[in-house]
């Protein structure tokens, strides 16, 4: 902003704006809220925008409020014709008009879209870069069957990032792998509201539900014989499928459940399909194995 010919007050306002908005915007997304004391809608919006910006501070978002009565020159430079007017500023330039976002969900949605496109350095991004290899190590150790070591990894990670969805989910699934179902339940019961719908958390909940339904069975030969003699003995097949799941034999479990669905999809109010979908969630909906089983399920349901 040129300052030639400005009053001393306006020059100071420009310097303040440069200090508070322009300079921070080189590394942060600065939300500029133009308001006034007499503006009713401004007062209604204030707690919403203040809360969201505080929540998004770890993502690199900063809020600056500009009183238009005290900063007429700044407001004119942004062509503010009505208030509240809200702009997102990055690298000294307005990148989005957020004025129409009047609710918390609307503002968060717009910020998420903007942040996804900007190369911001933030506390959250730095933490994510630090945590990612450690989470991957924990997941690898767990996949290799060393649940005790995985528990050590995730127990340390939960101290570093108690609200990180992947860490919480990993810790819960590790407890499940160790048969510590009550401990897993306690971890999931303490999940912060903002990550409760995370896919990893949902996966851990499904795994816990399956673990509670099924107990490891040393000898399934009796159930296998019953099913071989009568494939329509769905009670035996369902118990056999749960036994396979408890023993980690997901292919055999899926075969039994799909066989039940093919013969009588309505048995026990669709219990076989519900259990199969729960198994999909526990494995992970993006897993290639789940995709293959979904194709098998579709072939049964739609042919």
39 annotated active-site = yes
**Main-chain dihedrals φ then ψ at residue 29, nearest 5 degrees:** -95, 115
SS3 33: strand
Crossing angle of the two packed helices 104-115 and 40-55, in degrees rounded to 10: 50
The dihedral sign for the CA sequence 141, 145, 149, 153: positive
- Catalytic position from the list 30, 31, 39, 223: 39
42 annotated active-site = yes
CA–CA dist 110, 120 (Å, integer) = 16
Please write down the HEC assignment for all residues of 286-298. CCHHHHHHHHHHH
- Catalytic position from the list 21, 29, 42, 114: 42
* Cα atoms in the Cβ-side hemisphere of radius 13 Å centred on 117: 8
* Long-range pairs for 149-156: beta carbons < 8 A, 24 or more residues apart: 150/174, 150/177, 151/175, 151/178
- 210 with 181: CB under 8 angstroms? no
| CA 15 distance to own-chain centroid | 40
Active site residues: 39, 42
């Amino acid at each position: 902003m040129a300052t030639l010919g400005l009053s001393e007050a306006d020059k100071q306002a420009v310097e303040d704006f440069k200090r508070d908005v322009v300079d921070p915007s080189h590394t942060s997304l600065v939300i500029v809220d133009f308001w006034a004391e007499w503006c009713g809608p401004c007062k209604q919006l204030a707690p919403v925008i203040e809360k969201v910006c505080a929540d998004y501070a770890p993502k690199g978002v900063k809020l600056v409020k500009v009183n238009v009565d005290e900063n007429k020159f700044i407001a004119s430079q942004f062509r503010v014709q009505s208030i509240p007017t809200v702009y997102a500023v990055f690298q000294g330039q307005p990148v989005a008009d957020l004025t129409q976002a009047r609710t918390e969900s609307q503002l968060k949605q717009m910020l998420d879209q903007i942040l996804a496109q900007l190369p911001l350095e933030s506390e959250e991004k730095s933490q994510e870069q630090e945590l990612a290899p450690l989470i991957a190590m924990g997941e690898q150790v767990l996949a290799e069957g060393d649940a005790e070591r995985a528990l050590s990894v995730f127990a340390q990670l939960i101290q570093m990032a108690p609200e990180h969805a992947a860490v919480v989910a990993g810790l819960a699934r590790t407890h499940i792998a160790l048969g510590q179902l009550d401990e897993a339940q306690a971890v999931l019961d303490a999940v912060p509201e903002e990550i409760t719908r995370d896919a990893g958390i949902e996966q851990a909940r499904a795994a816990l539900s399956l673990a509670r339904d099924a107990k490891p069975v040393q000898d399934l030969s009796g159930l296998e014989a019953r099913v071989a003699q009568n494939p329509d003995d769905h009670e035996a097949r369902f118990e056999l499928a749960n036994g396979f799941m408890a023993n980690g034999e997901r292919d055999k479990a899926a075969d039994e459940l799909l066989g039940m669905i093919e013969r009588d999809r309505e048995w026990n109010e669709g219990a076989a399909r519900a259990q199969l979908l729960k198994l999909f969630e526990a494995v992970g909906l993006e897993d290639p194995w789940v995709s293959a089983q979904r194709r098998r399920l579709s072939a049964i349901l739609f042919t």
